[in-house]
């Protein structure tokens, strides 16, 4: 299998990247709302925050996100992976609106819709750009 071949498994990894980041951030936000302000000068509050279940689960989801993100970057270009997983922006907005009852103005919703529409353009192209083995203009002259 070549680097540019998109398989069902690779789409699942991109889905994991797209879902775990917003869920992890959402849980961190809920946990920090319960903990309150944290300062690096008061490490006891930070340690207390790290013991909060929502924050622990949020961190676990973000570790899952980071692992999946690393895997996806091993077989696809950054310019493919990041836009292809930007559906996470929609997920964050929906979680914030329905889960935290945040008000999201129409202009922000329009921006989210534009980002989502752009994903369709990006995912239609190749996931990986082959770099020619011999590229004379990239060679560095040594004297």
Please list the pLDDT of the chain residue by residue as tens digits (143 residues): 455 577 888 889 989 999 999 999 999 999 999 988 888 888 888 888 889 999 999 999 999 999 999 999 998 888 888 887 888 888 999 999 999 999 999 999 998 888 878 777 766 666 666 665 665 565 555 55
Q: Is the dihedral of CA 91, 96, 101, 106 positive or negative?
A: negative
CA distance 37 to 49: 10
Dihedral angle over CA of 133, 5, 90, 119, nearest 10: 60
In the chain, where the domains are located: 8-125
């Amino acid at each position: 299998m070549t680097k540019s071949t998109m398989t069902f498994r690779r789409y699942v990894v991109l889905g994991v990247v797209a879902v775990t980041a917003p869920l992890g951030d959402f849980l961190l936000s809920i946990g920090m709302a319960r903990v309150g302000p944290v300062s690096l000068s008061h490490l006891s509050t930070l340690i207390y925050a790290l013991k909060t279940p929502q924050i622990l689960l949020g961190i676990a989801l973000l570790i899952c996100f980071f692992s999946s993100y690393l895997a996806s970057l091993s077989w696809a270009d950054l310019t493919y992976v990041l836009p292809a997983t930007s559906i996470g922006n929609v997920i964050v907005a929906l979680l914030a609106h329905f889960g935290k009852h945040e008000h999201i103005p129409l202009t922000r919703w329009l921006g989210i819709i534009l980002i989502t529409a752009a994903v369709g353009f990006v995912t239609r192209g190749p996931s990986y750009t082959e770099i020619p083995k011999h590229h004379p203009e990239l060679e560095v002259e040594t004297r």
